[in-house]
């Protein structure tokens, strides 16, 4: 039983850990894209992107391009925020699983021991129960 519990706790720790590692890779991708968008949003780069394009209203083209880049930038930032929240939840899950694993490896809790003693006490003969009560009274004094 203890081995099954330990295996379960290891799974609870490893799986979120893998997800965090994947999240770091995705975060790096998104941060690189965010930096590229910041660079693309510079007025001179927007201007440069339309260097070979002729238009009657180039300012409208530039404004449309700037809005598209801003929308994409907000989307990337939103994904980064979601990743950060997910990482935080996963780290908390790992901490809980570690704590649970530690508690289970430390042995039964005092409540379980008390419950076990109560069950054992109910199976005793009246004379044995009397001796146990006497011992408890003597321990108190």
pLDDT tier, 8 (very low <50, low <70, confident <90, very high otherwise): low
- State the DSSP string of 6-25: HHHHHHHHHHHHHHHHHHHH
Identify the CA nearest to 19 among candidates 87, 76, 77, 103: 87
Tokens of residue 136, six digits: 């408890």
CA 22 to chain centre: 12
What sign has the CA pseudo-torsion 50, 53, 59, 64? negative
Euclidean distance between CA atoms 80 and 10, whole angstroms: 28
Whole-prediction pTM: 0.62
pLDDT at 55: 78
pLDDT tier, 44 (very low <50, low <70, confident <90, very high otherwise): very high
Spatial contact of 129 and 117, defined as CB atoms under 8 Å apart: no
Euclidean distance between CA atoms 65 and 72, whole angstroms: 11
Helix residue spans in 1-141 (DSSP H) = 2-40, 43-49, 58-105, 110-122, 126-140
Residue 16 CB-density burial (10 A; 0-12 exposed, 13-18 middle, 19+ buried)? buried
Segment 116-129 shows an average pLDDT of 58
Q: Where are the domains of the chain?
A: 2-107, 110-141
pLDDT digits (tens, 9 = 90+) for 60-72: 999 999 999 999 9
């Amino acid at each position: 039983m203890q081995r099954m519990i330990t295996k379960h706790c290891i799974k609870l720790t490893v799986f979120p850990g893998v997800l965090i590692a994947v999240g770091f890779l995705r975060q790096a991708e998104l941060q690189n894209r965010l930096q590229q968008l910041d660079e693309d949003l510079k007025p001179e780069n927007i201007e440069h992107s339309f260097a070979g394009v002729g238009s009657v209203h180039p300012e409208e083209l530039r404004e449309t391009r700037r809005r598209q880049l801003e929308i994409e930038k907000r989307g990337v930032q939103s994904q980064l925020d979601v990743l950060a929240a997910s990482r935080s939840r996963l780290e908390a899950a790992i901490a809980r699983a570690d704590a649970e694993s530690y508690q289970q490896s430390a042995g039964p809790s005092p409540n379980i021991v008390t419950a076990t003693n109560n069950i054992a006490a109910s199976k005793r003969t009246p004379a044995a129960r009397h001796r146990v009560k006497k011992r408890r009274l003597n321990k108190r004094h």
